[in-house]
Structure 1
Amino acid sequence: MKAMFTYPRRVAVGLAVVQAYVLTWISMVLVCVLGYVLTASSPMLGDVTWQDAARLAGSLWLLAFGTPIVAGGAQVSLAPLILTAVIFIATVKFLRSARIDDWQDVLIAGGTGVVTAGLIGTASFSFILWALIAGGVLAVLAAQLARTEILENCYIDYLRRGWQRVWPLAAALAGLALVLTLVAFFAGFDRISAIQAAYLTNSTGTVFMTLAQLLFLPAAGAWALAYASGAGFTVGAGSVFSALGGQGAPIPAIPILGALPDPTTRLPWLVAIVVALGVSGGVWVWFRFRARLREPDTWVVLAVGLAEVLVAVSVLGALSSGGIGPGRLEAVGVRAPVLTGLIFLEVGLPFLGVPALIETTRWWLARRAERKQATTPDAGAAGEQVPAGPESAAELGQVGASEVSPTAPTAPLAYSAMSAPSAASAASAPSAVSASSPAGVASAPSAPGTASADHPASAVSPAEGEEQA
């Protein structure tokens, strides 16, 4: 029974990849053929037939995998990343319905992707070898993401925890890129409209051309991020567009390129905005995880999360570069290593440096306060000390007198060490003032045989009392 259940499930995994690939490919064919039918009267089409439109659909489908289109001596390798995302998401959905349980299922999905992409590549203008590789890689990645059991190990856990801590930073960078792209489109709308009007297409043709260009919207976002960071991007050899200044050159008559900024304009405050995003992310990290920033594991997780963001930026930069025509138009896009390095300097270092600086400052202030407290005398302890003055002596005298019994026999002329040479009389006058008492305070009458306050240890014997009487 186990073999009967396993075999159909393995087949279902392969069919899931076939369904996702073929359905998206057929959709592209229908769109391209429909666009050809609706714009067949345009003089720009020349001798193009509907079969050419169908083959172009297959080439565009493979271009989403990064497979270049080669036709008429020109090479187009800039990927429509929106179409790439659609194919990838569809493949993941179909594979999840088929259940991916182990590595054998992943390999089956990859092999099916290789075969399917190769068959589609035979009916296109693309390289077959690159189509085989790209089709297999995308299917393997989709199958890995569609696994029912999530791999549990320390590395996967670090990746997951790292992404949970840095996704706001990634979202902020994506939001900045989107805002800059929209601003560029609105600012260059007149130029875009003028280039579109030169194609002499009707409203239907304009809609299809607009939709085709929107497939490259993620590439435009990557270009905007490169522009703001100062890394810049190129549209043909010899041209540079950057917020720190660039260089102009002739560009092809493609409507979406009408949104390009003036290469001679300098906008250094955009770089400051990118740095501010990194600083804000660092403040957010400190505020959110300040209770755990003293633990080394927290910094490891933050570093792993930052590495994930940098890898995503690098991959996006690489996929947003390529060629859109012959000659100088073969160099279009951003330099991924330069973009990644600048994002690390402008965003990554503040992201990690700000919480580290805050924690270091707090630690230094705490140590400084401890050292200051250690070198300052304790005010409370000083206040509890009683000076050894006359009042203390009086108290000691009272204590000594209370310890002497009035009836205890004593040796004649026996005086304590603290007694003065002239002993006090047995009966002091009521108005006598003790030497140890404050001025103006009279001491109580002393009973015979008791010591006065300023002679606490002296005692008078009965014999001496009789002689004095």
Structure 2
Amino acid sequence: MTHYLTGRPFARPVGAPATAPALAGATAALIGLACTGVPVLACWLVSAPPGDGVGDAARLAGSLWLLAHGGPLVRSAGGAPLTVTPLALTALCVLLLARAGARTAVPGAPGRAGAPCGALCAGYLAVALPVALGCRGAGALRSQPLPDLLAVALLGWTGAALGARTGPRWWPPARRRLVARLGRWHRPLPPGVLLPATGAGLLALLAGGALLVGAAGVLRGDVTEAAARELAGGSPPGELELLFCCLLLLPNAVLWSVGYALGPGFRLGTGTLVAPGQVHLGAVPDFPLLALVPDRGSAWQFLVVAGPLLAAGTVAVLLGHAAAGPADDQPWSATATGLTAAAVAALLAAVVALLGWLSGGAVGTGRMTELGPTGLCGPAAGGWFLLLVLPVSLALRRHLLRGRPPTPAEQPTQQPAEADGGSDG
């Protein structure tokens, strides 16, 4: 297990073949199940309800593992849906799949990595199938085998492809056709800049969201503590279970805070909205993370826009310095800088929209079918970055290039007539 988490390579005998992809996929699935099941079984041991056996705890762990892949569940009480993905477990599953995909990729042959990824995904599904069937008819959270297995297959292929740095077979020719159609709009983009700049902007947004969650925990600590005490009933086992649930959903809370800082906010039920300056709430479920939500709007809440401002400023500074380049290197053109800033804004908008959608879902019927960031969070992120990164990066590029001697490629060439005239004189 430590090999998957630390990234150290397996020790293989000289001349031995690489680990079988299907076995690597099954191993990744079993490790993910174990990481989910150990805390669940620990909570069951210290606070097992009367009549619940170890099989119920195992089914609960399996259901949570399926939910981490984006598969929908059904609660036994009334058949209410549960589709809010615990993103902490999702990140663990993606990490395990990526490590397995990296180990089973064919060295020096990236184009032949599709078959190992498919075999790895098949091994992963071989573990998920009995889990989905076993959690179908009993337990507090019940699986829906077909959509759950489809979600497992999608995440399994995505994680394995990320590790092997490959993609489906249709992507390379589709990418070539797309580049050919974009033509001159694609050529000015400098290579190797788009993804790092987008990643820097996303990390800055997530850091701001995490700081916002921490600040809310400090300001509303008494309300959160009261909600936790009421749910746990004052028992240490109950508090342990609540802590486990909060840790699983902490990345979701960070992404909801990102949506809040961007402006559109998030919903805690149909017809509700939590955004800077406006809070419209109904009955909110008793849960410590939901107790962090403000009760009413205030003008002070608009200070949270400092997060997107700093994130966009970070990307603008990075792009401005990259556009100017070292003193002995060819700088980017203004067109390339502007197009790169626009491309970063568009890609970041898509990523924020996807993550916001993954972090939300339903926790019941009626008004509890709509929780999470609103659909405008992605476009809001793109707008913030486009309006700030584009002018700031261009201005910084111009400032850094001021007073710098032109590079040999930028120096004007001497006309032949002028050269002849100079020799005659």
TM-score above 0.5, yes or no: yes
Distance 2:68 2:113 in 1: 28
Given that 1:162 and 1:306 are in contact with CA atoms closer than 8 Å, whether structure 2 keeps it comes out as no
Q: Measured at CA, do residues 212 and 163 of structure 1 come closer, stay the same or move farther in structure 2, by a change above 3 Å?
A: same
Give 1:281-430 correspondences, 5 Å limit: 281-290=315-324, 292-294=331-333, 296-335=335-374, 337-356=375-394
**Partner residue of 1:268 out of 302, 307, 331:** 302
Counterpart in the other structure of 1:247: 280
Please tell me whether residue 142 in structure 1 is matched to residue 159 in structure 2. yes
Structure 2 residue aligned with 1:170, among 184, 187, 202? 202
Q: How does 1:109-124 map to 2 (within 5 A)?
A: 109-124=120-135
Say if 2:197 and 2:318, in contact at 8 Å, map to a contact too.
no
Q: Matched residues, percent identical?
A: 23
Does the aligned pair in 1 maintain the 2:265–2:274 contact within 8 Å?
yes
Distance in 1 between residues matched to 2:162 and 2:124, nearest whole Å = 15
* 1:243/1:220 CA distance change after superposition, 3 Å: same
1:201 shift after superposition: 4.7
Shift of 1:61: 0.4
State the match for 2:41 in structure 1. 33
Q: 1:158 to 1:92 in 2, by over 3 A?
A: farther
Distance 1:92-1:286 versus aligned 2 partners, 3 A rule: closer
Give, in whole Å, the separation in 1 of the partners of 2:203 and 2:36: 30
> Can you list the C-alpha shifts for 1:12-56, whole angstroms capped at 9, x where unaligned?
10111111112221332332222112012xxxx465443222211
Question: Aligned equivalents of 1:98 and 1:359: distance in 2?
Answer: 43
CA contact (8 A) 1:242 1:263 kept: no
Does residue 278 (structure 1) correspond to residue 312 (structure 2)? The answer is yes
SS in 2 for 1:122: helix
Per-residue deviation, 1:338: 0.1
Contact kept, 8 Å, 1:239 with 1:249, in 2: the verdict is yes
Relative distance call for 1:241 and 1:90 in structure 2 (3 A) is same
Give the secondary-structure state (helix, strand or coil) at the position aligned to 1:220: helix
Query: Aligned pair in 2 of structure 1 residues 287, 93: CA closer, same or farther (>3 Å)?
Result: closer
Query: Does the 8 Å contact 1:162/1:303 carry over to 2?
Result: no
Q: Which residue is 1:78 aligned to?
A: 84
Q: Relative to structure 1, is the Cα distance of residues 13 and 159 closer, same or farther in structure 2, using a 3 angstrom cutoff?
A: farther
Partner SS state of residue 197, structure 1: helix
Residue in structure 1 matching 2:118, options 99, 107, 123: 107
**Using the alignment, how far apart are the partners of 2:217 and 2:297 within structure 1?**
18
Question: Deviation at 1:343?
Answer: 1.1
Contact (CA 8 Å) 1:159, 1:304: kept in 2 or not? no
Post-superposition CA distance 1:105-164 (Å, at most 9, x none): 122223333333222111221111112211111221122122278999887997843122
Moved more, 78-87 or 65-74: 65-74
> Could you tell me how far apart the structure 2 residues matched to 1:329 and 1:148 are?
39
Cα 1:159–1:329 change in 2 (3 A) is: farther
> Which sections of structure 1, spanning at least 5 residues, go unmatched?
1-7, 364-469
TM-score (norm 2): 0.74
Aligned residues: 352
Query: Is the deviation greater in 323-332 or in 295-304?
Result: 295-304
Which of 250, 268, 271 is residue 235 of structure 1 equivalent to?
Answer: 268
Residues 348, 381 of structure 2: 8 Å contact kept: no
Match of 1:368 in 2: none
Secondary structure of the structure 2 residue equivalent to 1:182: helix
Q: CA RMSD in A?
A: 3.1
Runs of 5+ consecutive residues of structure 2 not aligned to the other structure = 1-15, 107-111, 136-141, 180-185, 326-330, 402-425
Q: Tell me the CA shift for residue 9 of structure 1.
A: 5.8
Residue 404 of structure 2 corresponds to: none
After TM superposition, the structure 1 stretch with the greater mean CA deviation from structure 2, 268-277 or 175-184, is 268-277
Using the alignment, how far apart are the partners of 1:259 and 1:106 within structure 2? 41
> Contact 1:159/1:305 (CA < 8 Å) preserved in 2?
no
Residue 94 in structure 1 maps to residue 100 in structure 2: yes
CA contact (8 A) 2:227 2:287 kept: yes
- Cα separation, partners in 2 of 1:248 and 1:18, compared to 1, 3 Å: same
Distance (whole Å) between structure 1 residues aligned to residue 190 and residue 121 of structure 2: 27
Letter in 2 for 1:116: V
Distance in 1 (CA, whole Å) between partners of 2:261 and 2:103 is 42
Greater mean deviation of Cα atoms: 73-82 or 230-239: 230-239
Deviation of 1:354 (Å): 2.3
SS in 2 for 1:241: strand
2:197 aligned partner, one-letter code: R
Look at both structures and tell me which one has the larger radius of gyration over its CA atoms: 1
The TM-score with structure 1 as length reference comes to 0.68
Distance between the aligned counterparts of 2:17 and 2:347, measured in 1?
34
Equivalent residue letter for 1:54: A
CA distance in 2, matches of 1:127, 1:137: 16
Which secondary structure state, in structure 1, belongs to the residue aligned with residue 59 of structure 2? Answer: helix
Partner SS, residue 362 of structure 2: coil
Distance 1:15 1:265, change over 3 A: same
CA separation in 2, counterparts of 1:46 and 1:230? 47
Please say which of residues 48-57 and 64-73 is displaced more in the overlay: 48-57
**Aligned partners of 1:18 and 1:113 also within 8 Å:** yes
Structure with higher RCO (Cα < 8 A, 6+ apart):
2
Q: Distance in 2 between matches of 1:20 and 1:341?
A: 36
